[in-house]
Structure 1
Amino acid sequence: MKELDWTSFPTHFVDSKKIKLIHHGMASPDRCIQNMIEMMRYVDSRFSLDLMLVPTYHKEYFAQLEAMAKDLDNVRMLPIVSFEEIIPFSAQYDIGIFLVPPTTYNLKMCLPNKFFEFIQARLAIAIGPSPEMARYVKEYHLGIIAKDFTPQSMAQELNKLTKQDILKYKENANKTARILNAEKEGEKILALLEKVAG
């Protein structure tokens, strides 16, 4: 995805009393979205979570998530936006969260689009111990990694965060967005193709 103009994003500001998390993606049972909602029972009052979920044929599961969200004051389910709007929309948040247990091999080793969209939106990142994402979070100092995939473990890590921590991670995302983007990666692919073509 193309690097966006950092100056057009209000992500240099963090309200220490209202820290906003976002997760977007498919509402599939194997992703255990309910864990992120359950997590909000254990976080400090300064945190809120917005979910932007794409319904699948698992209609009962989606209804379950809606019911769980309605039961908590600090969780909302929002209408989805277009692909082109995901990054600008996400930029109003502080933290992008992806707490998805390894219920399949693909989910265990995943490096999803939303991870890079979080970076391009200049968000701090909160993930479980998913190895591929954790590798980037550690290398570029992008955010926090829970000890396991339980709601309580992630809540514990979130509750440790200070405003200064979040600002630091967001600034690191700003720097990383200039490295991990489609233009830079495309240059690598073109170089490889040219090398193969001789």
Structure 2
Amino acid sequence: MTSMGQMDFFSFPTHFIDSSHIRIVHHGMVSPDRHIHTMIETMDYVDERFSLDLMLVPTYHQDYYKVLQKMADSRSNVRILNPVAFEEIIPFTTQYDIGFFLVPPTTYNLQMCLPNKFFEFIQARLAIAIGPSKEMARYVQQYDLGIIAKDFTKEAMAESLNKLTKDDIKHYKENANKTAQILNAEQEGEKLLEMVNLLLEN
């Protein structure tokens, strides 16, 4: 989980929410099993107020990256950006409104995934938009962090996004701000240290 210390220099809210231009971001590795193409296709079904920026880290899936680039180029509401350095991910993404991750559970790992980007969304004080991924959904529900589409289709995600109001997004971002004080490296590190000490005592 991302260190809370990285966010100490930010004050909430990190930026003004423009109801006429809701900015969505996804960042991560280029891989077909992450269904980035589905996230792009989702933007064909959302209201015109939404836009999506993809900050993608190139991999050996060069052909897939070219497909994604072509898809983005053909849409006015999708862009592919160059990745920033790891330590800049959170500061950079605070300018957005919603962190987006929609990945079907095609493998057990994807079914149970709880990726770094999920916690980076929280530390960036973003509302979160995901499919019904079991572990991520558990945290989204527990801390009231955003929306969970009814399934992993682009239509279902777009339906959930289109229902969002400016006040909804503000509410989720405020909850992310509170949750960032709980789900961070300092807090979780203390728990891990306690478990290690307990094992050493036994």
Q: Please report the TM-score for the alignment, with normalisation by the length of structure 1.
A: 0.97
**Cα distance, 1:9 vs structure 2:** 5.8
Question: Which residue of 102, 105, 119 maps to 1:99?
Answer: 102
Segments of 4+ moved more than 6 angstroms:
none
Q: Secondary structure at the match of 2:25?
A: strand
SS at match of 1:132: helix
1:64 aligns with 2:70: no
Structure 1: runs of 5 or more not aligned? none
Q: Is residue 77 from structure 1 mapped to residue 80 from structure 2 by the alignment?
A: yes
Task: Write out per-residue CA displacement over residues 172-191 of structure 1, whole angstroms, 9 at most, x where no aligned residue.
Answer: 00000000000000000111
**1:11, CA displacement in angstroms?**
2.6
Secondary structure, counterpart of 2:129 in structure 1:
strand
**Residue equivalent to 2:189:** 186
For residues 15-51 of structure 1, what are the alpha-carbon distances to aligned partners after superposition, in whole Å with 9 as ceiling and x for unaligned? 1001000000111011111001000010000000000
- 1:79 is displaced (CA, Å) by 0.2
Is 1:118–1:124's contact at 8 Å kept on the other side of the alignment?
yes
- Is the partner of 2:140 in helix, strand or coil? helix
Deviates more, 1:136-145 or 1:53-62: 53-62
- The answer on whether the counterparts of 1:110 and 1:132 sit within 8 Å (CA) in structure 2 is yes
Separation in 1 of the partners of 2:78 and 2:172? 23
Q: For residue 129 of structure 1, what is the aligned residue in structure 2?
A: 132
**RMSD in angstroms over aligned alpha carbons?**
1.1
- Per the TM alignment, residue 136 of structure 1 is displaced from its structure 2 partner at its CA by 0.2
Please list, as runs of the form range in 1=range in 2, the aligned pairs for 1:109-188 lying within 5 A after superposition. 109-188=112-191
| 8 A contact 1:10–1:92 mirrored in 2 | no
